[in-house]
Amino acid sequence: MTATLPLRRAAEAEASGAHNGSATQQSPNWVPILEQPVFKKRKLRVDEADVLINGSGILHKWSWPDFGGLDTFRGKEIHSAAWDASVDWTGKRVAIIGNGSSAIQILPQMQPKAAKIVNYIRTPTWISANYASQLIPDGKNFNYTEEEKKEFRENPKKLLELQSLIKHHINKSFLALLVDTPEQLRAEAAFKKEMEKRLNYDAGLCAKLIPKWKVGCRRLTPGEGCLEALQEPNVAIEFAAIEAATETGIKTMNGTEEFDIIVCATGFDVSFAPFWDLVGKNGIRLADQWRDDPEAYSGICRYCKHL
């Protein structure tokens, strides 16, 4: 049985900046081979293992938008999963693509300093109250004082009790994610009422920003400051589909907007197929086998029994 497994590892401390490699499965052992390019040479490192555990998860391979032209944009493009902390958006024209959990956190942070922001929204999303908000002052995010931190350090039991209480309040809300339960119906009514209030009962905004689908169909995110930021004078919302990026901005059916920065809050590839190529027994590629649905029994994959 053989398998090829190109691996990519971050190597900030190395001049190369990256590791690439492969692996072969020589039953019953996995033999990962990491090729480390250093300047123009390659170093080979071979490890052996009885079992190869893929713990890479699904939040490691971010997705760029599927429209064309982004590579021609002369400004700065950033993905929310690989944020460039050196970028200063003060006085800049900014596009934010997306309306998911990342975008609704990014918008209120960028809005006060940007000259202009256009938020490109394809679908609405439910914005909830902060999780366990009844346990925090005014139900909003805050910083613990140094005195409170000192008390937690000196009294770990009190910190553990607070952590347990927060987890309890969050975990018991799972019933709101089950279809047509009383908890879901109450949550939907409460979220709708709160979103309408925060949108100042603007009929147009409410119609476009409040979902018609059930709570929980999309990741539920507390969006502190997001709905308020959308109504600021320097923020516009564009619901038309993006046709392409240009050298200077973004084109939709409504025209072209020019930007200095494009922020892509467009999520991840969550298909479960590994981002490295793995070929198991009978030449079966795991990416092909899992293209539609991942299949395993007690964590063991067919054709790759030692994975």
Per the CB < 8 A criterion, the answer to whether 74 and 247 are in contact is: yes
Cis, peptide link before residue 28, omega less than 30° from 0? yes
d(CA 173, CA 187): 9
Give me the pLDDT at residue 302, please. 72
Q: Does the structure show a pLDDT above 90 at 250?
A: yes
Prediction pTM value: 0.74
Q: What is the pLDDT of residues 191-215, one digit of tens each?
A: 999 999 999 999 999 999 999 999 9
Q: Does the structure show a pLDDT above 80 at 102?
A: yes
Q: What is the pLDDT of residues 262-301, one digit of tens each?
A: 999 998 877 777 666 677 777 777 777 777 777 777 777 7
> Pick from 253, 203, 195, 204: which is nearest to 223 by CA?
195
Q: How far does CA 77 lie from the centroid of its chain? A: 16
Q: ∠ at Cα 207 (224, 174), nearest 5°?
A: 50
- The mean per-residue pLDDT over the stretch 10-14 comes to 34
- Token pair listed for 3: 């398998």
Residue type, 137: P
- The DSSP bridge partners found for residue 242 are 252
Lowest mean pLDDT among 91-100, 189-198, 212-221: 212-221
d(CA 150, CA 152): 5
- The rounded percent of the chain whose pLDDT value lies above 90 is 49
Give me the pLDDT at residue 130, please. 78
Q: What is the pLDDT of residues 17-60, one digit of tens each?
A: 344 444 444 444 455 544 444 444 556 667 777 777 777 777 77
* Local confidence band at 171 (pLDDT 50, 70, 90 cut-offs): confident
d(CA 81, CA 62): 7
Give the dihedral of Cα atoms 297, 299, 302, 306; nearest 10 deg: -140
Q: How far is CA 226 from CA 68, 96, 209, 233, in A?
A: 28, 12, 11, 14
- The mean per-residue pLDDT over the stretch 243-253 comes to 95
d(CA 273, CA 293): 9
Q: Which domains does the chain have, with CATH numbers?
A: 8-57+272-289 (no CATH), 70-131+188-264 (3.50.50.60)
**Residue 236 CB partners (closer than 8 Å, separation 6+):** 116, 117, 118, 119
Lowest mean pLDDT among 48-62, 91-105, 246-260: 48-62
